[in-house]
Amino acid sequence: MLSLGADLGPEQRREALSRFASEQFDVLVIGGGVVGAGAALDAATRGLSVALVEARDYASGTSSRSSKLVHGGLRYLEQLDFSLVREAQRERSLILNELCPHLARPIPFIYPLQHRGWERLYVGAGIALYDALGRRSGVPRHKHLTRSGARRLFPGLREDALVGAIRYYDGQVDDARHTMTLVRTARRYGAACANSVRVVDFRRCGERVAGAVVRDLESGAELEVRAKHTINAAGVWTDEIQRLVGGRGELRVRASKGVHLVVPRDRIDGTVGVISRTQNSVLFVIPWGGHWIIGTTDTDWILDLAHPAASRSDIDYLLAQANKLLRTRLTRDDIQGVYAGLRPLLAGESDATSRLSREHAVVTPVAGLTIVAGGKYTTYRVMAKDAVDAALQARGAAAPESVTSRVALVGADGFAALWNARERLAAESALEPRRIEHLLRRYGSLLPDLLELIAEDPALGQPLAAAPQYLRAELRYGAEAEGALHLDDLLARRTRISIETFDRGVASAAEAARLAAPVLGWSDDVVAGEIAHYEARVAAERESQDQPDDRTADAARLGAPDVRAGASAPIPGSGGGAGPADGLARDPANRPPRPA
């Protein structure tokens, strides 16, 4: 079924649920992160019928909590992993120049040198090789800088923090919007996509997996999705899925926690990003619109996978590392937002997670089920392609080769022409040119959808009172066309208000809820409940960030229930714990698999 529409509104979700119950799909994809969304798009653009299910929100896990970079893996050159760097460079170029130029852009970094002579030769040779592996990538080549030259680009650097520097380029992307846009593009090519739909069991036909039993977390209804092959792209939940099929998997995934801080742009005086080595990982100071992102940590995480928590020690560590470079010291009072994500790493022999492999693996542990794990955000498209290839090979099915290297995401087609016309668009819409640029960088050639909303209701052209960087239309559109089902979806992923304001979005919660209510059919009581859930989430995160270590931070974060009842519960039969306290019925852990 080919669809020219790309909306992910309430009606589309109802349509997807109806299709889940009535159709047999060529491929069922589990997981609405960047790899799962990419796999759904890859399969759909090969002409296959595709279902995509996500237990919470699209990109609600790792795929909204990265460093917001699409990069070639400069640090992996030191591990002599040339093939991974070359692959990542190629994918970075596709993202920046062809697949989604409206969402991604080149970003300059400087690498401060702290030793004279040998370090410039050593680092310079590595970055020159990095450029060579990424030739024709559409970003400028590196340049050697003196100390004064580096401090002209980044006056906020301490003079004693460097003796010189090297400038090079990588890419930046809003990870959550990119992932959601992948889902919208898969929808355009016929995929049935639904969030708040959780897998509770697999269907079986003998020993073969033949789809899944899923629960709609919005209604509590349970239905069976029939599929010729299932691809699990659940990231850090990979081991849990493998246990669900009898523990016969060939992969072992370790979760590594990466914490990032967000501070206002005026707290740091600079025009480029900075990358520097630390004892345990790499420190990034990255310009992000009107903010800076500072990260990251790289430590084992063995606690709650749905809501990884940043502790006081994580925050203090990042501040200490940043302050080694910055002329004006940052304190906790400068922090607007904090977020923690989990990297799914293929386990190796090293105990240090920063040395585990970012390369991905694809296995088919039982007939009808393919699992893809590992990798890094930038190479999501390759991971998705390999997973679909493996699924087709396991079935012995013929299908066209992957075409996603040539399929632009929704919003990319015509973006350059609209960008060139931004002054005219501003005059015609009565919006400021900077507003048009902001919208183009988020929606690309879908901009007319937003302008039509504003034309119908001029009040939607006004900025949010407590987050004026966003227009009210963006919140309405998030509910109408981008699959947002809850207030948290709007404030944390369709916009980034939850990490870009000192109040963490609490002051915008009521206004955002009222904008979504007519679209999602919320009563006054539901609006009040959504606001209460969001406020409780923010309070729990703030409390976790005052705790001294991972265990106490995790306990504090879990003090706020998930707005999607049952979304964080262990999968029945996976050995994943005691189960939820949300009041929904759960299938017994020893229930036999559903027959086909």
Q: What is the mean pLDDT of residues 517-545?
A: 98
The pLDDT tens digits of the residues spanning 172-200 come to 999 999 999 999 999 999 999 999 999 99
Looking at the predicted structure, is the pLDDT value of residue 581 above 70?
no
> Would you place residue 161 in the very low, low, confident or very high pLDDT band (cuts 50, 70, 90)?
very high
Q: What is the mean pLDDT of residues 391-418?
A: 95
Looking at the predicted structure, is the pLDDT value of residue 3 above 70?
no
Please state, for a pLDDT cut of 70, what percent of the chain lies above it: 91
> Would you place residue 321 in the very low, low, confident or very high pLDDT band (cuts 50, 70, 90)?
very high
For 25-36, give one letter per residue: b (16+ CB within 10 A) or e: bbbbbbbbbbbb
3-state secondary structure 91-103: HHHHHHHHHCCCC
Q: What is the mean pLDDT of residues 449-459?
A: 98
Alpha helices in 364-505 (DSSP H): 380-395, 415-420, 422-429, 433-443, 447-456, 472-481, 487-489, 497-500
Lowest mean pLDDT segment, chosen from 57-61, 358-362, 389-393: 358-362
CA 4 to chain centre: 25
Lowest mean pLDDT segment, chosen from 208-217, 354-363, 449-458: 354-363
**Reported CATH class of domain 74-171+254-349:** alpha beta
d(CA 490, CA 53): 19
Domain with CATH 1.10.8.870 in the chain: 415-544
3-state secondary structure 326-392: ECCCCCHHHCCEEEEEEEEEECCCCCCHHHCECCEEEEEEECCEEEEEECCHHHHHHHHHHHHHHHH
Q: What is the dihedral of CA 229, 385, 6, 197, to 10 degrees?
A: 40
> Which CATH code, of 3.40.50.720, 1.10.1040.10, 3.40.190.10, 3.50.50.60, is assigned to 10-62+177-252+357-406?
3.50.50.60
Q: What is the mean pLDDT of residues 323-336?
A: 98
d(CA 171, CA 92): 7
Q: In this structure, what are the phi and psi dihedrals at residue 261, rounded to the nearest 5 degrees?
A: -110, 150
Domain with CATH 3.30.9.10 in the chain: 74-171+254-349
The pLDDT tens digits of the residues spanning 14-38 come to 999 999 999 999 999 999 999 999 9
Rounded to the nearest 10 degrees, what angle do helices 34-44 and 175-188 cross at?
A: 20
pLDDT attached to residue 114? 94
The pLDDT tens digits of the residues spanning 241-267 come to 777 777 656 678 889 999 999 999 999
> Would you place residue 75 in the very low, low, confident or very high pLDDT band (cuts 50, 70, 90)?
confident
> Would you place residue 475 in the very low, low, confident or very high pLDDT band (cuts 50, 70, 90)?
very high
Phi/psi region, residue 579 (left: phi>0; alpha: psi -120 to 50; beta: rest), is left
Please state, for a pLDDT cut of 90, what percent of the chain lies above it: 79
Looking at the predicted structure, is the pLDDT value of residue 290 above 90?
yes
Helix (H, G, I), strand (E, B) or coil at 471: strand
Q: What is the mean pLDDT of residues 108-118?
A: 95
CA 429 to chain centre: 32
> Would you place residue 78 in the very low, low, confident or very high pLDDT band (cuts 50, 70, 90)?
confident
CATH architecture observed for domain 415-544: Orthogonal Bundle (1.10)
Domain with CATH 3.50.50.60 in the chain: 10-62+177-252+357-406
The mean predicted confidence, pLDDT, of the chain is 90
Neighbours of 303 (CB within 10 A): 17
Q: Which two tokens stand for residue 292?
A: 């800076």
Q: What is the mean pLDDT of residues 368-376?
A: 92
Q: What is the dihedral of CA 110, 296, 93, 126, to 10 degrees?
A: 50
Lowest mean pLDDT segment, chosen from 476-490, 517-531, 573-587: 573-587
pLDDT attached to residue 247? 64
Q: What is the mean pLDDT of residues 133-144?
A: 84
pLDDT attached to residue 349? 32
The pLDDT tens digits of the residues spanning 566-576 come to 655 555 443 33
Helix (H, G, I), strand (E, B) or coil at 567: coil
Looking at the predicted structure, is the pLDDT value of residue 596 above 80?
no
Neighbours of 364 (CB within 10 A): 20
Cα distances (Å, whole numbers) of residue 374 to 193, 253, 387: 23, 7, 12
Nearest to 475 by CA among 494, 498, 455: 494
Q: Which two tokens stand for residue 53?
A: 């299910």
